[in-house]
Amino acid sequence: MTDATEHLQQRVLHHLATIYRDVEHVDDLEAIMARILATMRLDEVNSTPEHFINHWDQQDVVLITYGDSICGQQQQPLKYLHQFLDDHCKGIINSVHILPFFPYSSDDGFAVIDYSSVNDALGDWQDIEAIADDYRLMADLVINHCSSRSPWFQNFIKGSGTGSDYFMTADPTDDLSQVVRPRTSPLLRETETGNGLQHVWCTFSHDQVDLDFRNPEVLIAFISIIRQYLDSGVKLFRLDAVAFLWKIVGTSSINLPQTHECIRLLRCLIEHAVEDAVVITETNIPNQQNLSYFGNANEAHWIYNFSLPPLLVNTLVTGNCRYLKQWLMSMPPAQNGTAYFNFIASHDGIGLRPAEGLLSEEEINQLVNTMASFGGCVSWRTADHGQRKPYEINIALYDALQGTINGPDRWGEQRFLCAHSIMFALEGVPGIYIHSLLATGNDYEKLKHTQHNRSINRHRWDDQALAEALADDRTQHSKVLGHMRRLIDIRTKQPAFHPNATQFTLQLGGQLFGLWRQSLDRKQSIFSVSNVSDEPQLLNLGDINLIDNIDWFDLVAQEKVDLSGMEMELAPYQTVWITNIF
């Protein structure tokens, strides 16, 4: 046995002992450890991965998409997606997050029936592996719950077979008053089973039944799934809704210590199997709780920067960056081996929980009302003591930025591009939703058909209609895609935009949002300044301490900066990226 193998065994045993410390009837941890390592094919290892290594740089940009965001008559959707990536993203976007591509029963994929299969309406494993050959692939590990139509849950109903003891149950008389959830539906689902009436825990919906990780068999089942995904080319693992993983009656059942320990175990196994694989936690919760999922560079490699979407949209519709600056100045730099995952649009919506404590209740209500006036929907949650609070705004980002709190205006496209210019400049890895790349608006037809608020931002493009829209340079889709490609191309060539490069927030007033980024070798500086208002603003170049005996260049405008007057006028929603190396 190698020293590395012995070290791995001891680490896995330690994680298991911590996870199952208070669980009765789980005592043969060595046997569980042996099964886990055999499942991951880690019976013998020759090295121990380092925690503080960055397996990413400024060239990493992730496209977020459903497997069927583009459909047609001639071939299956995953092939259309691969063609779109090759035609429009190759050379500028190197990674793709394909949202759950498995057979499912609801929630557009997040109620998984079978984790081991590709939804045949999308394609097959060959299609997935072909994309993974050309792009760094992120896949969802929907780990908190599965579909009520899954074979596991059907065996639970029968009372026998694999899965019959995989699900979390509680008694209606239990004290569940502290449980934190993002939904208003009843927590428990009555289910007649071969073992009598059971009340199944459902954090999200009654079709999404929560798994019980107190049973080690559930953990081993998911480790087997992870091994299969690695073998199919998955390099980035998005742990969906992982904050709710461990439940204890009488507690909030969110962010529990056992949940963090499970993530540490999964990271340990994944990075021993594939050293440059990445674990990313999807924890749509208040900011400080979210930060805890970095651990000490031993939990998530990346965490979603969930506070960014509501704060950035609020900045651009109010014309004031005060709250965005306050938040950014409070954010610790991600240490090596970790990074923020920045996004401003997703398949869900603009989460509001991560804005709690950062925006006042009045600011949140103003934002909600403004988005509603732009055609958006609002999803609600049950807070403490049964209080109903807004949880999420559902709206396409292109429509969300069509105007300000005063109403729609003529600056929508510029405001939309300004939002992305800011995101591309921030510390972290940027993720772009395909419908932002394509400037897709609200899909009211899909919303009407499904009656689910999130459908408004889950449009399915017909391949021919998309081709025609992109071929016409007068459409918003063509114009935005061209601008976005250009910005990303510039970004990926700048060492100062490395996800872990130094970042300082500049103090330039309420209407100018500024950052200073410096490359890891300290050779390149970039001053990113954006006018977040609908009026021209003067930038005093002395305020950003430009040294006047060297040349400075605006990467966005592709022109030398004139220092003679030491002032620069920024048009509404204009961004400059001023650098000393170009």
Q: Which position has the token pair 């499942």?
A: 39
Contacts of 247 (CB under 8 A, 6+ apart): 168, 179, 201, 210, 212, 253, 256
Pick the closest to residue 327 from 232, 253, 427 (CA basis): 427
Cα R_g (the chain), whole angstroms: 24
**Of 68, 140, 240, 554, which one is the catalytic site residue?**
240
Cα–Cα distance list, 77 to 81, 83, 208, 412 (Å): 6, 10, 25, 31
Task: For residue 16, give the H/E element and its range.
Answer: helix 3-19
Is 28 among the catalytic positions? no
107 marked as part of a ligand binding site: yes
348 marked as part of a ligand binding site: yes
Q: Which position has the token pair 């954010």?
A: 331
Compute the distance between CA of residue 305 and CA of residue 303 in angstroms, rounded to an integer.
6
Angle at CA of residue 523, ends 419 and 553, nearest 5°: 55
SS3 content of the chain, % helix, strand, coil (to 5): 35, 20, 45
240 marked as part of a ligand binding site: yes
Pick the closest to residue 422 from 269, 297, 313, 277 (CA basis): 313
Cβ(234)–Cβ(202) below 8 Å: no
Q: How far is CA 103 from the centre of its chain?
A: 21
Compute the distance between CA of residue 49 and CA of residue 576 in angstroms, rounded to an integer.
39
289 φ, ψ (degrees, to nearest 5): -65, -40
Pairing relationship of beta strands 377-382 and 388-394 according to DSSP bridges: antiparallel
238 marked as part of a ligand binding site: yes
Q: How far is CA 507 from the centre of its chain?
A: 29
Sign of CA pseudo-dihedral 115, 117, 119, 125: positive
Q: Whats the size of the chain, residue-wise? A: 582
Cβ(435)–Cβ(394) below 8 Å: no
Which residues are part of a known binding site for substrate?
A: 107, 145, 238-240, 347-348, 454
Write out the catalytic residue numbers.
Answer: 240
Which residues are part of a known binding site?
A: 107, 145, 238-240, 347-348, 454
